Structure 1
Amino acid sequence: MGLFSFIKEAGEKLFGHKEVADAAATGAPNVAELNQKAADAIKTYIEKQNLGLSGLTVSFDGASGKVTLAGLAPSEEAAEKASLAAGNVASVSGVDNNLQYPAGTASQYHDVVSGDTLSAISKKYYGDANKYNVIFEANKPMLSDPNKIYPGQKLRIPAL
């Protein structure tokens, strides 16, 4: 699936991201332990999304902010949602998604900017603001409310 870029300062705060970044920058002896702690927190967060992944492995490099995912996904949609879940975590700047899944149709992605609404995004991609619910459903459970998106968040825009 490839490498996706994210805004490092935006997203869920799942672990001591400042602690991991500082340790990575100074070469502290516990960097590997902190990276593993962060990877475990990200993996737990992805698993809570109930995407049907199996054999999921997650690694995190605090120095670069890169997460690497591997395992099996039941669909391209589930693999994409796993990337978004991992990438929308504070201190993550990129996700290298190596999840395997059956072939399907490709989605687009949208980086939320200040002033964006799901209706406006829907109008941009589909030509119809009333199709915002398609985007909302495609990004569940990371989105819990169609009115709660934030700048820096990356959203999956499925093909119609």
Structure 2
Amino acid sequence: MGLFDFIRNAGKKLGIGDDDTPPEAEAVKKELESHGLGTDKVDVAVEGDKVVLKGVVGDQSVFEKAVVAVGNTLGVSKVEAGELKIAEAEAEPVEAAAPVFYTVKKGDTLWEIAESQYGKGKGAKHTAIFEANKPMLSHPDKIYPGQVLRIPPLD
């Protein structure tokens, strides 16, 4: 459950270089920290076009957001997070649950994604998807093909 696929030529460009060059580990770490998710105990390594995340995060949502934040980076095709653990209050860190991700296709809207993931008639739950992907998403209409979004469970 620790390896996640992304589209290498879609995402935010970090640093300089051509679109085919994987980003530097330091630039990926800086991008991850820029979202203010609480990932200060996360180490970032880049192996070719794969980013490896190790360390501890506060909860499942931070785990998923960290994977999406670095995966939606130009030049990254995989994120390995098998050694990224979730801290439990007064306990040893635990394995993360299997997250649900969705890769945006051309013409998709958050409403349509909500209906495809939660069922017909549940398009209004698109706000849950938007909120689950903040701060990586700044506006519900600003999604692009190839971008990977977290799909949170409904309560």
Of the candidates 76, 80, 88, which is equivalent to residue 92 of structure 1? 76
- 3-state SS in 2 of match to 1:133: helix
1:4-23 CA-partner distances (Å, limit 9, x unpaired): 010000000012353883xx
1:145 aligns with 2:139: yes
Of the candidates 125, 129, 140, which is equivalent to residue 131 of structure 1? 125
Letter in 1 for 2:28: I
Structure 2 residue ranges without an equivalent (≥5): 89-93
Whole-Å Cα distance in 2 between the matches of residues 3 and 141 of structure 1?
23
Match of 1:28 in 2: none
TM-score, structure 1 as length reference:
0.83
Q: Is the 8 A contact 2:7 2:76 kept in 1?
A: yes
Whole-Å Cα distance in 1 between the matches of residues 19 and 146 of structure 2?
22
Alpha-carbon RMSD: 1.9
Match of 1:29 in 2: none
TM-score, structure 2 as length reference:
0.85
Letter in 1 for 2:115: K
Return the structure number with greater helix share. Answer: 1
1:81-139 CA-partner distances (Å, limit 9, x unpaired): 00000000000000001211046764311010001000000011112111100000000
1:3 aligns with 2:21: no
Q: Is the 8 A contact 1:81 1:139 kept in 2?
A: yes
1:112 aligns with 2:104: yes
Aligned pair in 2 of structure 1 residues 9, 17: CA closer, same or farther (>3 Å)?
farther
Q: Which moved more, 1:131-140 or 1:120-129?
A: 120-129
Q: Is the 8 A contact 1:71 1:99 kept in 2?
A: yes
Letter in 2 for 1:96: E
- 3-state SS in 1 of match to 2:75: coil
Q: Is the 8 A contact 1:135 1:158 kept in 2?
A: yes
Whole-Å Cα distance in 1 between the matches of residues 17 and 3 of structure 2?
21
What is the aligned-residue identity percentage?
44
Q: Is the 8 A contact 1:107 1:156 kept in 2?
A: yes
Match of 2:27 in 1: 41
Kindly state the Cα deviation for residue 59 of structure 1 after the two structures are TM-superposed.
0.6
1:4-55 CA-partner distances (Å, limit 9, x unpaired): 010000000012353883xxxxxxxxxxxxx7x7111110111111111232
